[in-house]
Structures are given as C-alpha cells and as structure tokens.
Amino acid sequence: MSLERIKAALLASYTEHGGINHVDGTNLPSEESVNRLASDFMHLLFPGFFEQTPLTKDGVEGATVARLESVFARLTVETEKALRSVGDPAPADNARAHAMALLEALPAVRRILQTDVEAAYLGDPAARSTDEIILAYPCVLAISLQRVAHVLYDRKVPHLPRMLTEYAHERTGTDIHPGAQIGSHFFIDHCTGVVIGETARIGDHVKIYQGVTLGARSFELDDHGNPVKGVKRHPDIEDHVTIYPGATILGGDTVIGAHSIIGSNVWMMKSVPPHSIVYYQGEATSVVRDQRHRSKKKGDGSDAAPSGADWVI
C-alpha cells in the first residue's frame, strides 16, 4: 500500500470514527509539559534529593523561588488548557487560582509525606535510611504525586490530576486515582501492580503490598445502560490495616475494620470488623478470624475474643 492510500484511509477513518479525534478543538494539556511538572513537584517536595548539583542552605531560597515561579507559570498554562476544553467560563482567572491553591498546599503535602517516608522506613527491615527511601522507593513517587493531584481533583480541575498520577503509574506500575482519600503514614511495599480506585478511603497507618486491588464490584447503570458517575464504588480501609500481596477488595460498601490483616490472594466483597485476620483457605473460600484471641493470656485483663471467632466469607 502506498503512502497516498494510507493517508486517504486515515483521513476517512478520522471522519468515520470522530469520537477519538480532537480536531478544531481547544488546545489540550501537553503530556510532556505535565510530566515535567510532575518532576518539578518532586524537587519542590524533596529539595536536594533530585538535583544534579548539591543544594546548599544558602542556595535553597533562590532555587525554590526560581522553581516556584516556573512551575506556577507552566501549571497555569496547562490548567487553562484543561479548563477551556470543558467550557469553563473564566479559564484564565480560574487557572491562576487553581495553580496558586496547589502551590499553597505544598507545605501541608510535605508534612504528610514525611509520615509516609517514616512508615516506609519503619515498615521495611531492608531500608537502610530515609534517604534511600526517598531516592529509590517507588512508593514515594506514586504517593507524592497522588497527594499533589488530589488537591487539583478536589478543586475539580479536569485532566491534569489523572495526567499527574499517570506519570507515576508509568514509572512505578502503581495506579492510584487522584480522587482516593489517603490518611497519614501510608506505605506500599514494593509498589508494583497496585490499583486504588477513585472513591477508596484509606485511614492512617495502612500498609499495602504489591498486587493489591481496591476496586469496584460492579457499576450502577442509568436508563441508557451507561455507568452512573460519582457514586461510591471502592472500599474503605480503616486505620492500622495491613493488606498482603495479591489481595483484591471490592465494593463501595465494603469496609475493612481497623487493625485487621488481609492475607495474600484473598478476594473480598464483604466487610469485616476491626481486629480481623482474613486468609485464603482454598476453593474460593476466605476465613475471617478475630486476631485478638491469638495473644490472649489468661488473667491478662484484655478483652476476651468473641465466641465463634472464625467464620467463612
């Protein structure tokens, strides 16, 4: 086939399959520009860690001002593109407001990221230092950019939040939706193949291993058979929960109670109370056990485990 015939076939396809064209539309956010912004956010959040030359105390103010000014200008441009694409009535003014709000949030983002780095150091016996974690642990990139993107998501900025988290997804293999609500001291060990959905809520001191999915059980459909948007579809994980590799937890009404342990390869679509241990028994059966009875010692004054502590889900 000649190039002329290929051109004709492609042009015909553009007419026939117009839903995946963007011709004569507004200028959309640039993937290259957003990826550069993602990298710059990591520099702002962790100054001195990703520089090509050492950053000194005397130089940090100047470097920060220069990077902030550059990020603000470019973030405003990309945000305005995103807003124009959805018909925002005042895209230029609103873009500046969104960009400024995100930069104002960075100190608060840094405070919670410090707890995430601490959780990684305490949660991994192989970790030699927090420097190693920031430089080499993929969870730092995935969680950091999700927390940044979440600020824009809360402000209902289109496109950019997903583009920022997708940069981390491509680099780490972990896909955290910018809408997910995540508490402090969050650690994803190995950080590969993890999927966390938009409406998931994760408490404080939660540790997740590779291959975990916090997903949707099914989609509510409207009268035309299309998925209903904006409903709770993903599970809630309460404080001090550990989820081991390969576990799949589905459903917007599924709640994993605080201080629970979810074993490897468990498939869950039902809630469990606090202090549960859930493990795979085979034949698609999961067993739930109240873990408090494991350490119960006669006369130690702790609460007794409930009768019938094991049950099947």
Is the pLDDT reported for residue 129 higher than 70?
Answer: yes
Average pLDDT over residues 109-113: 98
For 238-253, write each residue's pLDDT tens digit: 999 999 999 999 999 9
Is the pLDDT reported for residue 19 higher than 90?
Answer: no
DSSP notation for the chain: --HHHHHHHHHHHHHHTGGG---SSPPPPPHHHHHHHHHHHHHHHSTTTS-SS---HHHHHHHHHHHHHHHHHHHHHHHHHHHHHTT-SSHHHHHHHHHHHHHHHHHHHHHHHHHHHHHHHHH-TT---HHHHHHH-HHHHHHHHHHHHHHHHHTT--SHHHHHHHHHHHHHS-EE-TT-EE-SS-EESS--S-EE-TT-EE-SS-EE-TT-EEE-S---B-TTSPBPSSS--S-EE-TT-EE-TT-EEE-TT-EE-TT-EE-TT-EE-S-B-TTEEEEEEETTEEEEEEGGGGS--TTS-PPPPPSS-EEE-
Is residue 123 located within the same domain as residue 228? no
Is residue 109 located within the same domain as residue 55? yes
Is the pLDDT reported for residue 96 higher than 70?
Answer: yes
Q: Mean pLDDT, the chain, as a whole number?
A: 91
Is residue 124 located within the same domain as residue 73? yes
Question: Given this model, what pLDDT does residue 301 score?
Answer: 42
Question: Given this model, what pLDDT does residue 221 score?
Answer: 82
The model's pTM = 0.89
Question: Given this model, what pLDDT does residue 191 score?
Answer: 96
Is residue 152 located within the same domain as residue 218? no
Question: Given this model, what pLDDT does residue 293 score?
Answer: 67
Is the pLDDT reported for residue 45 higher than 90?
Answer: yes
**Which residue range(s) make up the domain with 148?**
27-173
15-29, 223-237, 278-292: lowest mean pLDDT where?
278-292
Question: Given this model, what pLDDT does residue 161 score?
Answer: 98
**In-domain check, residue 78:** yes
Average pLDDT over residues 32-61: 94
| Number of domains within the chain | 2
Is residue 31 located within the same domain as residue 146? yes
For 145-204, write each residue's pLDDT tens digit: 999 999 999 999 999 999 999 999 999 999 999 999 999 999 999 999 999 999 999 999
User: Residue 53: which CATH number?
Assistant: 1.10.3130.10
**In-domain check, residue 146:** yes
User: Residue 229: which CATH number?
Assistant: 2.160.10.10
